[in-house]
């Protein structure tokens, strides 16, 4: 099949764009393009404009996200693809509730930003109609590890929407693990002599600050902070920085337990860094050793004990979420099911 991949952002629409970004974080769309091509499909990734002729494509996959962000500059084209009833959707933004509830935004609050993303498209009645029901009745692709409950991705948002007496039904969720299809960023060494400090990483300050509930006695380093004193470096370099420390705090998501994919889990596992998930429902997907009831007890463990725990976390992660031929074939099967 000839498949078009597009969306609201340059990252969604331009192949390899992540290499032009400061942090060079590999997005899940890279795995989608790679996987579909390996399955024998002809894949084109490009920007769509309102009114474009899309009849040449057998399938269209459109990435949708919040409309009130500066990076959603191609919202007009993303909405235009939804004029086809068979258009498939994908979500890469971890703020899935925000994506689901985007149509509920009060116009007075977001109309100016939204209008700026429409690139001159003037059929506001049609635009609002498409936006109002943009996920409803669609197949939706999510990047997710095996073993999670995908229904958790929209569970809170769907209840909130129901409270407004608006209905969004008929959508179906498909998940696949992108790791086996990605050029994974792995640390060059596991650093046997690690630093006894906590690392918490993220671009969201609110998420980074979640470590304060932990009340550790050892130093805490925040990675991802902007401005003076912040530690920010490209993803292919940050994995080595992570591997130098023993402890890594992973803030929770509202849909913990869904299996939502984060590259960080594999990167820490490869670096033999102990991952501590803020929400045990997220940790359970990776194995028993990932569920740490008393994180502060880690500070009292010897280096030998810490190494043994890190090795066990690595073993369980690889067993449950392999990136070998088996893991790859499993991800490819999920993708074929989605586009079929």
Kindly state whether residue 189 falls inside one of the protein's structural domains: no
End-to-end C-alpha distance for the chain, whole angstroms:
10
Q: How many CA atoms lie within 13 Å of 115's alpha carbon, on the beta-carbon side? A: 9
3-state helix, strand, coil in the chain (%, to 5): 40, 15, 45
User: pLDDT per residue over 239-274, tens digit each?
Assistant: 999 999 999 999 988 899 999 999 999 999 999 999
Kindly state whether residue 12 falls inside one of the protein's structural domains: yes
Contacts for 306 with CB less than 8 Å, ≥ 6 apart: 194, 246, 274, 298
Compute the C-alpha angle 91/314/254, nearest 5°: 35
Instruction: Report the candidate in 182, 183, 230, 181 with the shortest Cα–Cα distance to residue 202.
Output: 230
Residues 84 and 13 in one domain: yes
Residues 115 and 252 in one domain: no
Kindly state whether residue 310 falls inside one of the protein's structural domains: yes
d(CA 176, CA 133): 24
Kindly state whether residue 187 falls inside one of the protein's structural domains: no
Domain hosting residue 312, numbered range: 195-320
How deeply is 39 buried, as exposed, middle or buried, from its count of CB atoms within 10 A (0-12, 13-18, 19+)? middle
Residues 165 and 34 in one domain: yes
At 299, list the tokens: 């500070």
At 93, list the tokens: 């933004």
Instruction: Report the candidate in 308, 251, 307 with the shortest Cα–Cα distance to residue 283.
Output: 251
Using DSSP, state whether 252 is helix, strand or coil. coil
DSSP-assigned beta bridge partners for residue 86? none
Instruction: Report the candidate in 104, 33, 38, 91 with the shortest Cα–Cα distance to residue 65.
Output: 91
Q: What is the pLDDT of residue 229?
A: 64
Kindly state whether residue 190 falls inside one of the protein's structural domains: no
As a whole number of Å, the CA-based R_g of the chain is: 21
Residues 216 and 164 in one domain: no
Using DSSP, state whether 248 is helix, strand or coil. strand
Residues 256 and 290 in one domain: yes
Residues 314 and 335 in one domain: no
Residues 16 and 138 in one domain: yes
Q: How many domains does the chain have?
A: 2
Domain of residue 202, CATH code = 3.40.50.2000
Residues 49 and 107 in one domain: yes
Compute the C-alpha angle 91/95/97, nearest 5°: 90
Kindly state whether residue 309 falls inside one of the protein's structural domains: yes
Q: What is the pLDDT of residue 115?
A: 76
At 259, list the tokens: 């299996």
Residues 162 and 199 in one domain: no
Length of the chain, in residues? 340
Residues 315 and 328 in one domain: no
Extract the residue ranges of the chain whose pLDDT is less than 70: 106-110, 203-209, 227-230
Domain of residue 134, CATH code = 3.40.50
The distance from CA 335 to its chain's CA centroid, rounded to whole angstroms, is 16
Q: What is the pLDDT of residue 199?
A: 93
Kindly state whether residue 188 falls inside one of the protein's structural domains: no
Kindly state whether residue 33 falls inside one of the protein's structural domains: yes
**Left (φ > 0), alpha (ψ -120 to 50) or beta: where does 51 sit?**
left
The DSSP line for 135-159 is STT-EEEEEB-TT--GGGGSHHHHH
Residues 178 and 228 in one domain: no
Residues 217 and 78 in one domain: no
């Amino acid at each position: 099949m000839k498949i078009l991949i597009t969306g609201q952002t340059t990252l969604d629409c331009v192949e390899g764009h992540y290499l032009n970004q400061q942090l060079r974080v590999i997005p899940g769309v890279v795995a989608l393009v790679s996987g579909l091509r390996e399955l024998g499909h002809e894949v084109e990734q490009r920007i769509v404009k309102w009114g474009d002729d899309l009849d040449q494509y057998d399938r269209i996959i459109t990435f949708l996200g919040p409309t009130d962000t500066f990076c959603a500059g191609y919202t007009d084209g993303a909405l235009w693809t939804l004029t086809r009833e068979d258009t498939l959707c994908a979500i890469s933004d971890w703020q899935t509730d925000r994506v689901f509830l985007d149509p509920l935004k009060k116009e007075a609050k977001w109309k100016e930003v939204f209008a700026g993303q429409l690139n001159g498209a003037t059929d506001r009645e049609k635009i609002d109609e498409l936006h109002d029901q943009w996920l409803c009745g669609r197949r939706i692709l999510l990047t997710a590890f095996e073993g999670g409950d995908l229904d958790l991705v929209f569970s809170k948002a769907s209840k909130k929407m129901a409270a407004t007496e608006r209905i969004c039904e008929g959508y179906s969720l498909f998940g696949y693990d992108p790791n086996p299809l990605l050029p994974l960023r792995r640390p060059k060494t596991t650093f046997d002599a690690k630093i006894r400090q906590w690392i918490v990483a993220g671009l969201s300050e609110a998420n980074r600050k979640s470590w304060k509930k932990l009340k550790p006695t050892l130093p805490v380093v925040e990675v991802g902070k902007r401005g003076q004193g912040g530690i920010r470096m490209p993803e292919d370099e940050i994995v080595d920085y992570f591997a130098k420390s023993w402890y890594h705090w992973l803030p929770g998501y509202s849909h913990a337990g869904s299996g939502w994919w984060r590259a960080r889990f594999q990167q820490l596992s490869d670096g033999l860094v102990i991952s501590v998930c803020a929400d045990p429902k997220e940790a359970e997907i990776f194995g028993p050793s990932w569920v740490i009831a008393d994180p502060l007890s880690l500070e009292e463990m010897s280096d030998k004990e810490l190494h043994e725990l890190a090795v066990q976390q690595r073993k369980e992660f690889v067993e449950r979420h392999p990136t070998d031929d088996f893991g790859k074939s499993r991800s490819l099967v999920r993708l074929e099911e989605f586009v079929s």
